[in-house]
């Protein structure tokens, strides 16, 4: 019953957002998290945490943030249904998000993607992780990407970093491998 209410709420959110211009990255975290899956779903409560599992061709969006994979697990507050974390597994799981109004994107893929919603949103890539920004690429065992500040933490082994920076006053901080 509770899963049906959540699904109806999310469907309503999708309908309300249809036709609205693409949200900028800054507003992504303020948007509803919307999901779809072709397979079954299960729900259970463990202590204070509600766990919802979705199977088969899962897509999770929040504004311009998109994560897709084979299956997903949502962890939320049991009492309020406020989402804490979304885990997506795939072959590979994929991530994409618009960086700015100019249309630049950051993209990534790995065996598993963990999206932490509390505080500054964090996207963590685990297992054969790749993160591509406008100007560079990271390849490591694991990469943690802070979406607001655009900082990264990597766990090796890494295959290195490649990138491009502009000289002089036009220079920008490298994204996302700073």
Q: Is residue 177 part of a domain?
A: no
**Can you give the pTM of this predicted structure?**
0.78
The predicted pLDDT at position 36 comes to 97
Helix (H/G/I), strand (E/B), else coil: 25: helix
Q: How many CB atoms lie within 10 A of CB 63?
A: 21
Number of domains comprising the chain = 1
- Domain with 138, as residue range(s), is 2-170
Q: For residue 37, is it within any domain?
A: yes
Dihedral angle of Cα 121, 125, 126, 127, to the nearest 10 degrees? 180
pLDDT per position in the chain (178 positions), as tens?
A: 444 444 433 333 333 333 323 333 668 888 999 999 999 999 999 999 999 999 999 999 999 999 999 999 999 999 999 999 999 999 999 999 998 878 889 999 999 999 999 888 999 999 999 999 888 899 999 999 999 888 999 998 998 777 777 786 554 555 555 5
Q: Is 131 part of any domain?
A: yes
CATH code: domain of residue 158: 2.60.450.10
The answer to the question of residue 176 being in a domain is: no
Assigned domain for 178 exists:
no
Nearest to 23 by CA among 80, 75, 101: 101
Residue 138 resides in a domain: yes
CB within 8 Å of 1: residues ≥ 6 apart:
none
Task: Note the pLDDT of residue 63.
Answer: 93
Is position 175 within any domain? Answer: no
Sort 5 into a burial class: Cβ within 10 Å, 0-12 / 13-18 / 19+.
exposed
């Amino acid at each position: 019953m509770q899963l049906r209410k959540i699904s109806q709420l999310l469907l309503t959110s999708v309908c309300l957002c249809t036709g609205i211009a693409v949200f900028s990255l800054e507003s992504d975290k303020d948007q509803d998290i919307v999901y779809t899956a072709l397979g079954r779903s299960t729900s259970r409560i463990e202590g204070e945490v509600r766990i919802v599992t979705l199977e088969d061709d899962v897509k999770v969006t929040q504004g311009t943030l998109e994560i897709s994979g084979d299956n997903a697990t949502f962890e939320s507050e049991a009492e309020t249904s406020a989402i804490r974390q979304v885990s997506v597994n795939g072959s590979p799981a994929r991530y994409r998000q618009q960086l700015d109004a100019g249309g630049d994107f950051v993209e990534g893929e790995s065996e598993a993607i963990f999206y932490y919603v509390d505080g500054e949103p964090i996207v963590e890539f685990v297992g054969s992780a790749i993160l591509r920004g406008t100007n560079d690429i990271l390849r490591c065992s694991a990469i943690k990407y802070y979406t607001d500040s655009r900082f990264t933490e990597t766990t090796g082994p890494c295959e290195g970093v490649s990138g491009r920076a502009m000289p002089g006053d036009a220079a920008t901080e490298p994204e996302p491998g700073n």
